[in-house]
Amino acid sequence: MSSLPYTFNIIVAAGSGSRFGADLPKQFCMLDGRPVLFHTIEAFRKALPDGEILLVLSESHVDMWRDLCYRFDFVSPDIVCGGSSRWESVRNAVMTLHVEKPESVITVHDGARPLVSSTVIHDAVMAACMPGVDGAVPAIALTDSVRMLDDDGSSMPLARQRLRAVQTPQAFPAGLLKEAYGLPFSPDFTDDASVMAAYGHENIILTEGSAENIKITHRGDLALAEFILDGRR
């Protein structure tokens, strides 16, 4: 593998986890005996040991996080307080960065994707460094058929072979992403690639994601994550 660039790695974990249906936000629930976020952070420490990590948390969760780190003797990355939306949370982190190396890369990753592999991370980072590329997004092919709903409730089929399910980490040239996050918020910003596209940086390429790079969203996802971890042993 070619030499990896310097990376700033933003792990977003500021959500409330309302869909998860548990007392604890999903990022703090136990996976293989330790909080989900520990696994996520360690995946980046393993893949990019020389990179910086910024952890974005809700201000109301910071004390809980520090308690968990103390209990498990875990070294926390630097913390940035999130905002009322994912866009605002990422923006808060991006704007704290001092981008001095023009070839450096920013990755943005969901804290609730604890099983991301070094290969998925490396592929996205290296693709974001390619000449003329504005960013790289891991994605996987769909296995289910999909239909698009119209306003009247009717639906039409879409060509599954032309669609991909997008994952994280999404990786971008650091200077470009920082510029793009200077834009005012738009409801069209569904992820970081859409923020880049709104700024005119539309050459976003897809890299190979992984079916194991699941996002913990519902309680059943924790059982699936445990199963995947067992298979890796």
Domain annotation for the chain: domains and CATH numbers: 7-232 (3.90.550.10)
The tens-digit pLDDT sequence of the chain (233 residues) is 568 999 999 999 998 655 555 678 899 999 999 999 999 999 999 999 999 999 999 999 999 999 999 999 999 999 999 999 999 999 999 999 988 777 899 999 999 999 999 999 999 999 999 999 999 999 999 999 999 999 888 999 999 899 999 999 999 999 999 999 999 999 999 999 999 999 999 999 999 999 999 999 998 999 999 999 999 98
Predicted TM-score of the model (pTM)? 0.94
pLDDT of residue 112: 97
- The torsion angles phi and psi of 53, rounded to 5 degrees, stand at -120, 130
